[in-house]
Amino acid sequence: MWNSPSEFFAMGGYALYVWSSFGVCALVLLLEPIVIRARNKLVVRRLKQQVLAEQFDKKGSQ
């Protein structure tokens, strides 16, 4: 279908759409685990704070 590497990279005139789509997809695949890890750390930190606050309240009411 393609006679040279330049024709392959040109993608029949749709290179901008095709390669930007691949780029956006790769970016999302790279960023997703980072975002999930950050959210997980935030949730764990908030839960630890909540547990400490509940323990403090229990000690204060006794």
Domain residue ranges of the chain, discontinuous segments joined by +: 5-61
61/45 Cα distance (integer angstroms): 25
What are the pLDDT digits (tens) for 2-56?
A: 788 898 888 888 999 999 999 999 999 999 999 999 999 999 999 999 999 998 8
Q: What is the pTM of this model?
A: 0.65
| Angle, CA of 5, 10 and 13, to the nearest 5° | 150
28/15 Cα distance (integer angstroms): 20
